[in-house]
Amino acid sequence: MSNHIVESTPATDSAEITNPAFDVARRWQLPPIERGKSSFDCAQLRKVLDGDQREVREKVMEIIAQFERFQGTNIEDYRAKVLQWTEQAAAKGIGRTFMLRSLGGEEDLPKFIAAFETFAYFDINLLVKLGVQFGLFAGSIQRLGTAPHHQKYLVNAVEAKLLGCFAMTEIGHGSNVQGIQTEAVYEPESDCFVINSPTYDSGKNYIGGAARDARLATVFAQLKVADKQYGVHAFLVPIRDEKGNACFGVTLQDNGLKMGLNGVDNGRIWFRSVRIPRTEMLDRFGRVSPGGEYNSPISSQNARFFAMIGTLVSGRISVAAAANCVAKSALTIAVRYAARRRQFGSPNREVLLLDYPAHQRRLIPFLANVYASHFAIAALVQENENDPNSKAVETSAAAIKIFSTQNCTFTIQECREACGGEGYIAANRFSALRADSEIFTTFEGDNTVLLQLVAKNLLSALKDKLQDMPPAGRAQFFLQQKLAEMLRKHPAYTFNLTYDHLVQTRYQLALIRIRETANLSRCARKLRSLLKSGKLEPFAAFVHLQLELMELARAHTSRLILERFASSLEKVGEPSLKRILKRLCDLYALHEIERNRGWFLENGLISAIKSRAVSHAVDRLCRDLRADVVHLVDAFGIPDGVLAAPIAV
């Protein structure tokens, strides 16, 4: 299909008009975006959103503003362009933000996450390529290796002079990393590890960089020394020589055309008797001596495994942050378009899309979700910095990653539909945003699996808490839980329909907390009963309760995000900013209650008439936010040239 514009014009204009890149807005001016007067200072809100990372975000914006977007369909050309962008970003020092100070880095993970997520505003292919090169490949060397590995590889990795990949996932074992089949057998006579893929299913799969660019891989494999198994460890294995040819014993296969992210060279890797020196084992958590003796500072194989894959926590935080930035782009396009596009009404003055209640309802709750995610992620980044090995941080990272990535997918779809046919045009970017971000829900942990991880961690935390209590304390704990639930069923709560009551953060938190604690208590009782009966083993009992456990994880996520959003408001001093953010927080909370009204009704925590009152309050909040909604997306600070959607600039 031709995308040329044809019209009867003087010959001097013909070349310009038939150029696909010709900007029609130069000839026919689009209607202005009607922003109106804001109730707050947009620049001040942007400072609040940027926090301490304003400088690095601006630096990344300057970098990507110089990049020319890829236009075309040739995959190899796209991959070459993404690699070029990666090398240019590396030359600007982006990778050094997290690298060890002893090697000239900054050791500033929050700064790196802020830089990483900002690349999501440009092209998600570049984001993923950077994530693989810096976050996973270089990050694994830094976190799992020791000084010799750091000195040998890190500087070249963060400068993108040594391209690498992170080979964990296998064809037959995705989320179940402990069950991977790739083997690393120590061979004393050569002082080497022999890396093997014993089956087709043990091939490493969907590995970014494997199909084209990566020369060195961080390979996760089952360590075997003197016929004894020591569990999963990481090894540095060359997969290509300097000319780009596969190394001896390495088989590489391109994953081919994907649903999106075709600028990233995902591939499969198999190993056949590939020997690497013993020193190429990343040995922070376990090492093998020249004599073939294994030792580790962590005696438990299970604990050692979870220490090794702790790198995934920061990866999940980064994906959550990036997904939220993609949702910000989608909302900025859709909201600005709705503030310039008119439809129906009087012949002389049609109505703006943004003035229709239905349009407000479809976009503004997603805007509240994005703001809620933003503040929840900011709090999580700080928690991870303070206590990176905390089980609570792992649980929060999984929960927020689930919410942010799912919200991103739903937001893009709703925004695309809200823009009608214009949203279907590739130039307006929804097609790329959707196709390239779709994978977020299943990488760095499949969301369905992560829901179960969250629930499992919550049950373990409850068990530990109760074990530390004397019998009388445990009885009092459960009594308090029951009394709190009964209190919230009191008519003073279930039939209080006033708006002022519904927008009390204390009430919203109480209701959402009860949903979590009730689900937690119910799952704990059912699991205990199943195990006590002796009919099911622990794994089978867990699977039996899978759906209830996932519901528990969702309830926990709602509470977690609301608490962090509400807590963030306490740090905002400017009254007008606090007021607008409080409205967004109220909308997030009440929309969550509305979405889960079935549970609250079934459990007697709200009445049918109060359920309707909650919906009316959501409608009112959308109306109240309408005057500020364009300014709320402007506060994201996405430059027009980076946003690059003609209907939104």
Q: Is 88's pLDDT higher than 90? A: yes
SS3 92: coil
Distance, in Å, from the CA atom of 424 to the CA atom of 407, rounded to the nearest integer, reads 20
Amino acid sitting at position 116: F
pLDDT computed for residue 478 by the predictor? 63
SS3 204: strand
Q: Is 612's pLDDT higher than 60? A: yes
Nearest Cα neighbor of 399 from 558, 523, 629, 628 is: 558
Distance, in Å, from the CA atom of 524 to the CA atom of 108, rounded to the nearest integer, reads 39
Distance, in Å, from the CA atom of 66 to the CA atom of 487, rounded to the nearest integer, reads 59
Q: Is 24's pLDDT higher than 70? A: no
Distance, in Å, from the CA atom of 516 to the CA atom of 521, rounded to the nearest integer, reads 9
Buried b (16+ CB within 10 A) or exposed e, 175-213: eebeebbbbbbbeeeeebbbbbbeeeebbbbbbbbbbbb
Q: 3-state SS string over 289-319?
A: CCCCCEECCCCCHHHHHHHHCCHHHHHHHHH
Lowest-confidence segment of 5-14, 233-242, 314-323 by average pLDDT: 5-14
Q: Six-digit token pair at 647?
A: 């209907």
CB 390 within 8 Å of CB 306: no
CB 515 within 8 Å of CB 558: yes
What CA dihedral angle connects 34, 57, 328 and 140, to 10 degrees? 170
pLDDT computed for residue 28 by the predictor? 60
Q: What is the mean pLDDT of residues 291-299?
A: 91
Per residue in 30-67, pLDDT tens? 889 999 999 999 999 999 999 999 999 999 999 999 99
For residues 279 and 347, the model is more confident at 279
Q: What is the mean pLDDT of residues 362-386?
A: 96
For residues 552 and 389, the model is more confident at 552
For residues 217 and 311, the model is more confident at 217
SS3 73: coil
CB 401 within 8 Å of CB 450: yes
pLDDT computed for residue 467 by the predictor? 74
Q: Is 238's pLDDT higher than 90? A: yes
pLDDT computed for residue 566 by the predictor? 97
Please report where in the chains the tokens 């329909």 appear, as a residue.
497
Lowest-confidence segment of 82-96, 122-136, 156-170, 459-473 by average pLDDT: 459-473
pLDDT computed for residue 232 by the predictor? 94
User: Which percentage of the chain shows pLDDT scores above 90?
Assistant: 78
Cβ neighbours, 10 Å, residue 330: 30
Distance, in Å, from the CA atom of 454 to the CA atom of 316, rounded to the nearest integer, reads 13
Phi-psi region of 289 (alpha: psi -120 to 50; beta: other; left: phi over 0): beta
Q: Six-digit token pair at 41?
A: 């200072």
pLDDT bin (cut points 50, 70, 90) of residue 604 is confident
This model's pTM is above 0.75: yes
CB 531 within 8 Å of CB 459: no
- Kind and range of the H or E element at 110? helix 109-118
Per residue in 621-641, pLDDT tens? 999 999 999 999 999 999 999
Please report where in the chains the tokens 């967004």 appear, as a residue.
584
pLDDT computed for residue 3 by the predictor? 44
Average pLDDT along the chain: 90
pLDDT computed for residue 61 by the predictor? 95
Q: Where are the alpha helices (DSSP H) in 192-253?
A: none
Buried b (16+ CB within 10 A) or exposed e, 269-308: bbbeebebebbbbbbbbbbbeeeeebebeeeeeeebbebb
Residue ranges per structural domain of the chain: 43-158, 164-306, 313-648
pLDDT computed for residue 469 by the predictor? 61
**Which CATH number applies to 313-648?**
1.20.140.10
Strand partners of residue 14: none
pLDDT computed for residue 303 by the predictor? 86
Question: What class does CATH assign to 43-158?
Answer: mainly alpha
For residues 484 and 92, the model is more confident at 92
Distance, in Å, from the CA atom of 285 to the CA atom of 271, rounded to the nearest integer, reads 24
Backbone angles phi, psi at 572, to 5 degrees: -90, 120
Buried b (16+ CB within 10 A) or exposed e, 381-394: bebbeeeeeeeebb
Q: Where are the alpha helices (DSSP H) in 438-545?
A: 447-467, 471-488, 491-494, 499-502, 505-533, 538-544
Q: What is the mean pLDDT of residues 170-188?
A: 92
Contacts of 446 (CB under 8 A, 6+ apart): 174, 175
pLDDT bin (cut points 50, 70, 90) of residue 330 is very high
Q: What is the mean pLDDT of residues 411-421?
A: 97
CATH topology of domain 164-306: Butyryl-CoA Dehydrogenase, subunit A; domain 2 (2.40.110)
Strand partners of residue 223: 184, 231
pLDDT computed for residue 457 by the predictor? 93
Residue 464, judged by CB atoms within 10 A of its CB (0-12, 13-18, 19+), counts as exposed
Per residue in 353-372, pLDDT tens? 999 999 999 999 999 999 99
Q: What is the mean pLDDT of residues 371-400?
A: 93
Residue 338, judged by CB atoms within 10 A of its CB (0-12, 13-18, 19+), counts as buried
Long-range contacts for 599-602 (Cβ within 8 Å, ≥24 apart)? 599/515, 600/511, 600/515
What CA–CA distances, in Å, run from 18 to 27, 98, 265, 314, 428? 13, 47, 34, 48, 20
